[in-house]
Every structure is written in structure tokens, then in C-alpha cells.
Structure 1
């Protein structure tokens, strides 16, 4: 039974917060503090303006890593984050348990809720839904951790958001698209940079 609601974006997340969320003793929400709202809006606005100006944005209009000098045509910008999640979805071994997965999700949400990644409200809200509904991506324990971010394990969160990975939901393992459908929600459509924003972090290592 939940005993509290922990709001993201209004104050720093504490270890105690993560423990409560991981143990299912707290639900989560996004802060309605004006400064937080403006931070997220500003990040989205800045990214949109750069795209309209045909700006060069790493991982959005360019490739990744050593391919950063390769330009991505405008008509493929929206496909790039999808391919990034698929490319890194090569984890192995056992999956993290529910407690560990909830801790990973909460830590990643905390980072994205800082407002510096240019992610949309829709993405932040989907992560809130996944935590509150206990829709937990199956994340393999073996893969790249700390190598320019926890790219492989975090790709399973991104893949779950777009309906291409399995989740634990209502005591069953099912495709995430089916789980979202049971909640009356479509899968998330990644905006430019959102695949990179989800994956290029250290939530699993943390």
C-alpha cells in the first residue's frame, strides 16, 4: 500500500525516496512548480528552434560517437532514436527484479526531470505511469554499464516506451504495447533526441 507521493522536478531526489519507490511504498508525480514547468518547456522549445534552423545537433542531426561527422537527413531525424534503441538492445543474462527496476526507473526519471535533456512532457509522464502502474521493463543485467552511459540496459526502457520490449505487468510478462493498450494508452513516439536522452545516463550503475 502506498503511503506517500514523491514529486519529481521540484527538489532533488534522495536515497530515501528511491528506496520508498523501489519498495512500492510511494507513488510518483511530476512537480507543478512554475520554475520546473518552465525548465522542461524551455528545453523542448530550444530543441525545436534548433531543428527549425537546421542546426547541427549531436545525436539528432548527426550520428553517434565516431559517426558524429555524419549528417542525418531531415526526413530520417525521427527514425534515428528508434534505431538507436534497437541497436543497443543486446543485453544478456537474468533480468533485474521488480525492486531494482523501480529504482532504475526512478533514478532515470529524476535525471530527465532536471529539464536539461529536451525531452517532452509526454515522455516524463509515461515514466510516471510505468512506475505508478508497476509496468516494469525486463532489463537484462549483462550489458554495457558505465560505457558512455548504461546504453544497453537503458535501451530496454526506451524500447518498452515505444512498444518493442517486454514488461512485467499485472503479474504477467507481455509486450509493452499490449500493456499500454490495457491502460487505454498508445505507445510513446520518441521525439528527436529522446532515445539518446533516455539511454545516455547512469541510472543502472547508480
Structure 2
């Protein structure tokens, strides 16, 4: 059981909740702060003080005063009117992360919600009830309004949810599980939707997938090194220490470990003096992606534990401030950076695949074909990789450089961070496919070179991967192989592949 404090959620804990189904609760030390914050809201309502979001309209309507008898209707109307997202639904994993992170923000005690609101969010997390939340419709400022409104709609017993793989009305799910719908009171609707949890949830899942893929990219690159008789000298520790980037040094060390004892790698001058950049510069390029991942992780960890709604309540209600913590710019920039960095992993992988299949660049059978000419072998697999990396070049165009005014120009600068996070997820999915293709081609190449000459680490991985995709002895519908390898990379969690420290 993981206890939420609002300040201390880690990626390791998030991984356990999202991937291992660990349950969540509210840390008991937070209860008094939550209650104090709620009492402050109730006092404001009773005293008739005018405070944004409690007894006023929203956005351009912030100057419209709401009578006390209409405060609950105000919150309900807010959710109903804002639940207008479109497009495909967020994945169950992202939706669960969104629900969890919204609860974690409210636990901090700055938002003025009742304890029951947070408990309802965690009930959804623990029972694995997934509100149907469309991906499109957030500008990434004023909070992820549309996506989070769909989340809040489900808490109210409305809209649709997915439970045990089945889409159903929330009312039916609540009846099945004997759950009581939430009736929102003053400020609670605004507190649920004024936040960055859609972009942060998508970003956190993207980061975890990107980290795993980056480790997998290294062993696949090592396999390609063997398939092409790559020169190991370029990975010598002294070269990388001379430049000084820790991530570059660490990448080179992991590649050396993967290739330790290999009889398929060469020394400079044995076959050729230098390798092409896609082999020789693996530590520099992959290492730069690791630098980016470090930056992205740092920003996400802050945002995962941040108070991002508006207004925020301090000093037991004596200070209530309208600000802009809902603005997603920090995450928007991080997501754009993540897309670019992962896209580059795909770019260099596709160039290695080209070197594996192009007979003008190696001494292997053309296109790794079992019968060149009669059979095309891996020719079109490289086409697919090329198409994917080109698609990523459009997806990696920064979303954060765009803005468009909304709410009658009251909200005149927005982050587009949720678009950036969605693009990052798609880029990562594409790059995983690119590495599935490189892995298939690299395995075929080392098979031609001599399986028995491989390093112990790569040979072990080769054997496991061959259980997924068999040797190419004749042409077949290779989309099946790509799908199988991609699914394996998406699911596999092998310590000797990743060689990583636990997520912090």
C-alpha cells in the first residue's frame, strides 16, 4: 500500500501502482490540513466573501457573482459544460495515472475539497475503474479542463467508464459495485479540473516507456554491432571520459558490457579503420537522449507532486490567491524535448537497419535474404522503419511554440502541453516499432556471422528473442514478426536487458 502525501510520490511508486496494481491510500498526517482547507471554503461561502471559483463564474465569467443557494449547481454545471473532449480515449494506464495524480494534488491541502472527493478518486484507482476520457480538447492551460471534466463526470456517476475491459455507463458500474455518486459542493468541481494532470499523466507514462525503450535500444544496438563486425575501440572509456558527459560514459559502458567476450566485434584496422556514425556514435547520440530523459524526469517529478489548481488556499483560509499554477508550460517544453530525443533514437536505429540490409554497405546477403532476388528478405522492413522515423519528424514539431487565446481572450496564452504529451507517446510507440525491425535484422545478421561467436549477454538475449521471432529461412508476412517483436519489447522486463537502477 502506497500512502499519498502530495509531496513525495516517486516514479518507482507510480510504476508499482500503474504496472503492478499496488493499492493507494491517503497518508493520515495529511488529514488535518485537508480538513482545514475545506473549512476555509465553507467559511467563505457562509460569510459571503467573493472569491473566484467558490461563488463566482469561471474564466471570462469570473466577475459574475453566484448566490449561495446556487453554489452546488455552479460546480455541477462546470463539469457538465466542460466535458466536451473528442477523439480516441486515453489508455487505461494514462487514465489511472490521471486519477491518481489529481488525488495526490488535492491531498496537499491547498484546494479546499472535502476528504470524500479524494477518497472517491482513490476508490477509482484501487478498483481499476477507468473513466472514458477523450484525448483531444485540452489547451494545456486553465488546467486540462476537458479531460479532467470527463474524469469528474464519472465521479458524479455520469458519463461512461471502462471496468474489467467493458465499456458501460458509470451509473451501471456504480450499481454493480454499490458505489455512491459524488455530489460536488463549493469549489470542488473547479478543484477537480483546474490542473495539469492529463498532460502530466500522459507524460509520466511516456517517460517510463521511453526509459525502458532507451535501455532496450542499447542491447539491440549491441546486437547490430556484432552483425556488422563493429569496431569496439570507439567505446573505449577514455574517449568518453575525455568529453565528460556522464550519460555518454554510462552508455558506452553498458555497450561494452553487452559485448564483453564477443568474437564478432573487431578492432580498428582489422577490417576497416572507422565505422559509420550510426555505430561509432552510439554513446554520443544515445547518451544525449539520456540527458534529455533526466531533464524530463526532473520536471515530471515536480509536477506529479504540485498544487496546480486555482485559487489556492493558504493560512487556514486567511489567504486565498488566484494565480496560474494550472499553466502547463514546464511540462509542454519537457514533452516536446522528449519527443525530439526519442525520435533521434529512432533516426539512428533506422540508419543501422539500412547498414544491415544494404549490400553496398556490408558483406551480408543482400537484404538478409535467404535467396536474394527470388526472395526480398528484409528489404521492405527498412522501408517501414524509414516511414516511421519520417512520421516522427512531424510529430516532434514542438507543440509548445503554439498558443491560441480562449475564453474571450481572458486566457490569452496557453501551453498546448497535452498535445505535446500525446505526441510523445506516439513517437515512443513508433520508435519501438523501429527497434523491433532493427532487432529482427540484427538477429539475422549475427546468425549469418555465427551464433556461437556472440558475447554471452547478447547471445542470451538472442535466444530469448528467437522464441518470439524465428529465423528468416524464406519470405513470409513480416508484419507478424514486427508485431510480435514490438509486443515483446513493450511487455518484457528483463533485468539483464535493462541493467538499470530502480526508478526513483
Question: As a proportion of its length, which structure holds more strand?
Answer: 1
- In the alignment, the residues of structure 1 paired with residue 112 and residue 152 of structure 2 have an alpha-carbon distance, to the nearest angstrom, of 15
- Look up the SS of the partner of 1:105 in the other structure: helix
The counterpart of 1:111, out of the listed 105, 109, 116, is 105
Distance 1:195 1:10, change over 3 A: closer
Question: What residue in structure 1 maps to residue 48 of structure 2?
Answer: 54
- Look up the SS of the partner of 1:46 in the other structure: helix
Question: What residue in structure 1 maps to residue 92 of structure 2?
Answer: 98
- In the alignment, the residues of structure 2 paired with residue 120 and residue 183 of structure 1 have an alpha-carbon distance, to the nearest angstrom, of 22
- In the alignment, the residues of structure 1 paired with residue 91 and residue 6 of structure 2 have an alpha-carbon distance, to the nearest angstrom, of 28
Question: What residue in structure 2 maps to residue 156 of structure 1?
Answer: 150
| Mapped pair 1:196 → 2:182 | no
Distance 1:16 1:133, change over 3 A: same
Describe how 1:1-206 pairs up with structure 2 within 5 A.
Answer: 5-9=1-5, 11-33=7-29, 36-206=30-200
Question: What residue in structure 1 maps to residue 399 of structure 2?
Answer: none
Which stretches in structure 1 are left out of the alignment for 5+ residues? none
Shift of 1:147: 2.2
User: RCO greater where, 1 or 2, for CA within 8 Å and sep 6 or more?
Assistant: 1
- In the alignment, the residues of structure 2 paired with residue 63 and residue 175 of structure 1 have an alpha-carbon distance, to the nearest angstrom, of 29
Q: With structure 1 as the length reference, what TM-score do the two structures score? A: 0.93
Q: With structure 2 as the length reference, what TM-score do the two structures score? A: 0.39
- In the alignment, the residues of structure 2 paired with residue 183 and residue 37 of structure 1 have an alpha-carbon distance, to the nearest angstrom, of 26
- In the alignment, the residues of structure 2 paired with residue 10 and residue 129 of structure 1 have an alpha-carbon distance, to the nearest angstrom, of 17
- In the alignment, the residues of structure 2 paired with residue 186 and residue 145 of structure 1 have an alpha-carbon distance, to the nearest angstrom, of 32
Shift of 1:11: 4.7
Distance 1:84 1:205, change over 3 A: same
- Look up the SS of the partner of 1:141 in the other structure: strand
- In the alignment, the residues of structure 1 paired with residue 92 and residue 117 of structure 2 have an alpha-carbon distance, to the nearest angstrom, of 21
Look at both structures and tell me which one has the larger radius of gyration over its CA atoms: 2
Shift of 1:123: 0.7
Question: As a proportion of its length, which structure holds more helix?
Answer: 2
